[in-house]
Amino acid sequence: MARVLRSLRSSQAVARFQRCCGLFPAAEEGAGDGLAGPEGGGASSPARDTRPEGDGGARQRLPAANGVRSQPQPQDCTQKYVVKNYFYYYLFKFSSALGEEIFYITFLPFSYWNINQDVSRRLIMMWCIVMYIGQVTKDILKWPRPCSPPVVKLEMRAEYGMPSTHAMAATSISFTFCIATINQNKYPYVLGLIVAFVLSTLVCLSRLYTGMHTVLDVIGGTLISAVLIALMYPAWDILDHLMLTSPFCPILSILVPLFLCYNYPKLEDYSPTRADTTTVLGAGAGAIIGFWLNNLNASPNYPSESLQLSLPSISGMLTVMLAKFLVGIFILLVIRYFIKGLALWVLCSRFQVSVNDLEARQRLEIEVPYKFITYSSVGFSATMIVPLLHKLLGLI
């Protein structure tokens, strides 16, 4: 068993997978054959070497500022690589994006505006739980990411590797959506499971292809997410009822996430996981307050029944869905931009530091409130303000 675990945690396994998919360091497999890396246009393209500390890569520390030590940063060097199979390259780059903020800020609101409110609430609830546990586990275990070389790194990540939160989020969102819509949408249950399995598998494999995680990181993230779904499923209806009706819901949805963020595990060096966790919990908190207020006011009332697709009406339905999405995303991006700028300006003025001082922005007393305020505003807007705007525009 120990040998199997070592092999699953090995960087060599990740490197072999990359080679099988046609991704090579420029020094291997004939870099001079003219095959390009991403956006290379005929020449191998650079990618940052993001080796975690202790893997033999050169590191440099930024000086401490105001009592905060900075995360060890990768040395300013590049790693050239060659892409010999562009199908896998674009497939896995797209799949990897399904675990990024751009996906969360589009799909989760889309599910609320256009699919089903009940399903959306369960998705957001599981997303917050899974991501918090995954991020905390990273900073408790402190397992490094795969070494480069032999692995080709296509992304720059400063946090630790185990478990893969991409794998956790993909598994949670895919299977929660499938389970939550079993009795609400008319599609074969087996088909739903197959789609959930394929999507989560693609995201998991993308983390190997991009060189961000070992096989064990991905398996661990998937298993943790599966266990959490199994444990939380019996309580879904109870938690959903409390989320909508409890008079304490708005207060708890703010106090509990803030408590968790301010008491996030402390590290010797700065890690972006605390900021990412605050982003997720802040968005969840704002969304929950929106859920509660919508239920209290019973407005606006998006249909909670399953989508009934029929050929004569599908064109009009898609037009309305697209209009809702474009209007909603525009509002969310505008709110995110202005609230982030305002929160940073107020906090930096309060603590007498420059808004452009990145190290100062990493301080607990600035990072947590500005992230929480920004993304709780986004979550609240997605579930309260945007639906009201949809109603005013006649899009419901």
Catalytic residues: 166, 213
Closest alpha carbon to 94 in 202, 224, 222: 202
Question: How far apart are the C-alpha atoms of 148 and 174, rounded to whole Å?
Answer: 31
Q: How far, CA to CA in Å, does 19 sit from each of 12, 14, 82?
A: 10, 9, 10
Question: How far apart are the C-alpha atoms of 127 and 133, rounded to whole Å?
Answer: 10
Q: DSSP assignment, residue 89?
A: H
What residues contact residue 365 under an 8 Å CB cut-off, 6+ apart?
Answer: 347, 351
What residues contact residue 371 under an 8 Å CB cut-off, 6+ apart?
Answer: 275, 278, 279, 282
Q: How far, CA to CA in Å, does 34 sit from each of 31, 39, 41, 90, 91?
A: 7, 13, 9, 19, 22
Contact (Cβ atoms closer than 8 angstroms) between residue 351 and residue 365: yes
Q: What share of the chain is helix, strand, coil (3-state, %, to 5)?
A: 65, 5, 30
Question: How far apart are the C-alpha atoms of 98 and 67, rounded to whole Å?
Answer: 36
Q: DSSP assignment, residue 83?
A: E
Contact (Cβ atoms closer than 8 angstroms) between residue 240 and residue 126: no
Q: How many CB atoms lie within 10 A of CB 183?
A: 8
Contact (Cβ atoms closer than 8 angstroms) between residue 375 and residue 279: yes
Question: How far apart are the C-alpha atoms of 174 and 189, rounded to whole Å?
Answer: 13
